[in-house]
Chains A and B, each alone.
Chain A
Amino acid sequence: MNMVMKKTISNVCALKIPRKYFCTEGVKVAGSAIGEASNEHEKKHTVSKIIPQYDIAIVGGGMVGMALACFLASMPMTKQLNVAIVDSNPALSSGLHIKKEDPPDPRVSTVTPASISFLRDAGAWKYVEQNRHAYFNVMQVWDYTGLGYARYHARDVNKDYLGCVAENKVLHNALLSCVKDSDFKTTIYPFRLSSMTLNTSSMSVVEENTKSVESSSAQGHGAKLQLSDGSSLYAKLVVGADGGKSHVRELAGIKTTGWNYSQNAIICTVEHTSENVCAWQRFLPTGPIALLPIGDKFSNIVWTMSPAESNSRKSTTEEEFLKDVNYALDYGYGPRPTSGLLGTRDMFSWFKMDATVSTNEFFEIPPKVIKLASERMVFPLSLRHANSYASKRVVLIGDAAHTVHPLAGQGVNLGFGDAFSLSRIIAEGIALGTDIGEVNLLKKYEAERRSANIMMMAILDGFQKAYSVDFGPFNILRAAAFHGANYISPLKKGIISYASGEHKLPIFL
């Protein structure tokens, strides 16, 4: 009887179980499941009591969640997995519409060479290149005191570029297209997650009776997710890719550590008279301002300041705002640095054994901003880190695991790194027949990513702290650090490699 019961269930599960949908309009399902879903839709009344079972449920189909789907789709060990993506964003099923003529969206990401290579290998990068994006090969960092500056060039590390800036919607769309064009089985649930039941104590029922074997096998395996439309699904592994305010993290009872900076960032798109090809970052007493090329004559601005300032700058006139931006990017708050100030060039000349090319480059003035090309958006800054990335059947990736200061545009790269690492660990687990929700397997992912993420967070936090102090001697020290970074070749290479996402330790390379 026992065996028969189990056999039936396994057979039923082996069939493609029609999923039930309670919403009135037909649910569009992206990816390869489109044709299938329309059939299922007709059949939905015949078998509506069986809850669909998936290998993985990715909660949050943003850039990081879709990157995970992409990585899984690209590996032989994982491409047969049956994946559900839970996200109420309608763009996931309808697709994003990107018009090339539109000015760039202010929400952009700086993608590091390491992330680019992950995405290229997974087949997603070619879709990014079909839309607006901007590679940059020079980066200039300086501060308002006029005491120091550093210019990093891709040639210093024998690279063609230091990174690529792309709009988040371009990246997101590329990842969606990549998954859609693969033969990977994904089903999109355009709903929100309302509750999660983790089947952790299944063993406690043994004592009472063995009859429960049947009932518990009927309950299915793994975590049960309940969605906002009342439907539910089972997954062996639930991936929380649902951002800084992760619901998965909260439902799994994983606590976070962190603080708010009581600072906001204004982001917007601006226009120049000619194309900008360099990434610029200037540290001001109120916080850093970054000017990133985004293609054509556009640049993106990420400007950190106090909440009061951000509110007034958001509502001020365009003319006033542009004046402030140009002031902040050039002569405002202090003089331009002059090359060779303090004789640092001689001071560090011993280190120039294999002279890094860009030490000979002089300070340059960033291009003038002439027009505001988007609305001004304001975000509060915070740093948050989950105390654990993994528990049984639950794993966190991207902002759900760590929210960082957007200083160097590293946030999404840490997320891509997480997604890549998790996809490899899952492949490894499958190769050895491991249950992919097994905590020992997921802890491997945690061990791999935790130290890398904490290191980057500490550095970004350190930068933030270093520039929240305006005190004479400290400013000189900071400037000296800049000079050191500019003139000591190995150190400079180390910094570039680290910022490119290629080295684990920034200094001891």
Chain B
Amino acid sequence: MAMAANHLRNSTRSSVHSILHNRFQPLLNAARFFSDAASSMPQPQPNQQSPPHSSLKDYELAKFAAIADSWWDSEGPFKPLHLMNPTRLAFIRSALCRHFKKDPYSAKPLEGLKIVDVGCGGGILSEPLARLGANVTGVDAVEKNIKIAQLHAGLDPVTSSIEFCCTTAEKLVEEGRKFDAVMALEVIEHVANPAEFCKSLAALTVPDGATVISTINRSMRAYATAIVAAEYILRWLPRGTHQWSSFLTPEELVLILQRAGINVEEMAGFVYNPVTGRWSLSDDISVNFIAFGTKSNNTE
């Protein structure tokens, strides 16, 4: 086990270097690409002053409310998320242990860390984080999700300490909340304004704190696998779960995070093996990927 964790750590570290060097360095220097990337992103709309001040799209909320009951059904619509969860956690665990200098061999390595899980859904990520010792706050804009999450977490004394609130990242910022680590997994592709969303995540993070974001790449392969295969052929996800045009490429994500004051330090891809039915971490970020960033001390 320890060996595996170690190996994981080494492999993710090396992959980060190669990814950062191979993919981002030339892009960061190319100003032309920057403007391209910016124009392809949903533009911030300053005139958007609707009462629910949120980065979320209303129809996205309705979509999730409809399937909220099945969050914890490991054979239901969230099956891929359940299968992917251990892999996401392996990345998060090793990245957080390294950044916060926690003992990776401990059963509760995240003890003492305040973590917010933005877009927590039924609490699929919040619960493991709490079991790993973190002090977790889970927020979701869908009230039904929060109820499910509370009900499910309440079944186990360890997870019943999670604070679940039906709110948004923006509202938490208004309340002046701060966290050691901010998680937004598989959420950014559902928000109306990713750049604003990232600014909110950065505002929730303490200086030198960590931000972890995972999403789906806007690549042809992602279109083929995440939408055509997962929604239409395999019927893993309800149709319309994802819209390809709202996906972000890793380059775009790194840039908007940088503008929000977060430096991406590690990135890894998730690869699904259809034979074993398992997900694993890899250097291939062409479909699902996860980014770990830290907030620089001197921003704000």
Residues of A near any B CB (own CB < 8 A): 2, 6-7, 9-10, 13-14, 53, 75-78, 80, 199, 202-203, 205-207, 210, 212-214, 216-217, 219-222, 236, 392, 424, 427-435, 438-441, 447
Q: How far is the CB of A75 from chain B (nearest CB, A)?
A: 7
Task: Report whether A202 and B86 are in contact in the complex, using a CB–CB cutoff of 8 Å.
Answer: no
Partner of B1 from A6, A53, A428 at Cβ < 8 Å: A428
Complex contacts, A206 vs chain B, CB 8 Å: 69, 147-148, 151
Task: Report whether B155 and A431 are in contact in the complex, using a CB–CB cutoff of 8 Å.
Answer: no
Complex contacts, B147 vs chain A, CB 8 Å: 206, 210, 213
B150 within 8 A of A: yes
Complex contacts, B161 vs chain A, CB 8 Å: 6-7, 10
Query: Mind listing 11 A-B residue pairs with CB under 8 Å?
Result: A9-B157, A76-B107, A78-B107, A206-B148, A217-B155, A236-B156, A428-B1, A432-B132, A433-B127, A433-B130, A440-B82
- C-alpha gap A427/B5 in the complex (Å): 12
Q: How far is the CB of A441 from chain B (nearest CB, A)?
A: 8
Indicate the member of A202, A206, A212 with the most B CB atoms within 10 Å.
A206
Residue of A whose beta carbon sits closest to that of B86: A432
Interface string of B1-23 (1 = CB under 8 A from A): 11011000000000000000000
Indicate the member of A7, A13, A432 with the most B CB atoms within 10 Å.
A432
Complex contacts, B62 vs chain A, CB 8 Å: none
Interface string of B33-61 (1 = CB under 8 A from A): 00000000000000000000000000000
Q: How far is the CB of B69 from chain A (nearest CB, A)?
A: 6
Does more than half of chain A's interface fall in helix, strand or loop, or is it mixed? Answer: helix
Complex contacts, A447 vs chain B, CB 8 Å: 276
- C-alpha gap A392/B106 in the complex (Å): 26
- C-alpha gap A403/B90 in the complex (Å): 36
Task: Report whether A10 and B157 are in contact in the complex, using a CB–CB cutoff of 8 Å.
Answer: yes
CB contact under 8 A between A431 and B157, given known A203-B152, A207-B69, A213-B151: no
Residue of A whose beta carbon sits closest to that of B5: A431
Complex contacts, A440 vs chain B, CB 8 Å: 74, 82-83
Residues of B in contact, count (CB < 8 Å): 39
Q: How far is the CB of B148 from chain A (nearest CB, A)?
A: 6
Residue of A whose beta carbon sits closest to that of B122: A203
Task: Report whether B107 and A434 are in contact in the complex, using a CB–CB cutoff of 8 Å.
Answer: no
Task: Report whether B152 and A9 are in contact in the complex, using a CB–CB cutoff of 8 Å.
Answer: no
- C-alpha gap A143/B80 in the complex (Å): 54
B232 within 8 A of A: no
Task: Report whether B129 and A433 are in contact in the complex, using a CB–CB cutoff of 8 Å.
Answer: yes
Given contacts A220-B155, A435-B131, 10 further A-B contacts (CB under 8 A): A9-B160, A10-B160, A10-B161, A203-B72, A217-B155, A433-B131, A433-B132, A434-B86, A434-B131, A435-B127
Partner of A217 from B90, B107, B128, B160 at Cβ < 8 Å: B160
B67 within 8 A of A: no
- C-alpha gap A392/B131 in the complex (Å): 19
Residue of B whose beta carbon sits closest to that of A429: B86
Partner of B154 from A217, A431, A433 at Cβ < 8 Å: A217
Residue of B whose beta carbon sits closest to that of A439: B74
Task: Report whether A202 and B82 are in contact in the complex, using a CB–CB cutoff of 8 Å.
Answer: no
- C-alpha gap A206/B67 in the complex (Å): 13
Indicate the member of A236, A435, A441 with the most B CB atoms within 10 Å.
A435
Task: Report whether B151 and A14 are in contact in the complex, using a CB–CB cutoff of 8 Å.
Answer: no
Q: How far is the CB of B147 from chain A (nearest CB, A)?
A: 6
Interface string of B152-175 (1 = CB under 8 A from A): 101111101100000000000000
Q: How far is the CB of B274 from chain A (nearest CB, A)?
A: 15
- C-alpha gap A214/B158 in the complex (Å): 15
Indicate the member of A6, A14, A214 with the most B CB atoms within 10 Å.
A6
CB contact under 8 A between A432 and B90, given known A77-B1, A213-B150, A440-B74: yes
Task: Report whether B157 and A432 are in contact in the complex, using a CB–CB cutoff of 8 Å.
Answer: no
Q: How far is the CB of A469 from chain B (nearest CB, A)?
A: 38
Partner of A202 from B107, B155, B158 at Cβ < 8 Å: B155
Q: Which 5 A/B pairs are nearest by Cβ-Cβ distance?
A: A433-B128, A217-B154, A433-B131, A13-B157, A10-B157
Residue of A whose beta carbon sits closest to that of B155: A221
- C-alpha gap A214/B2 in the complex (Å): 38
CB contact under 8 A between A199 and B155, given known A206-B147, A431-B5: yes
Task: Report whether A434 and B1 are in contact in the complex, using a CB–CB cutoff of 8 Å.
Answer: no
B196-244 contacts to A, CB under 8 A, are none
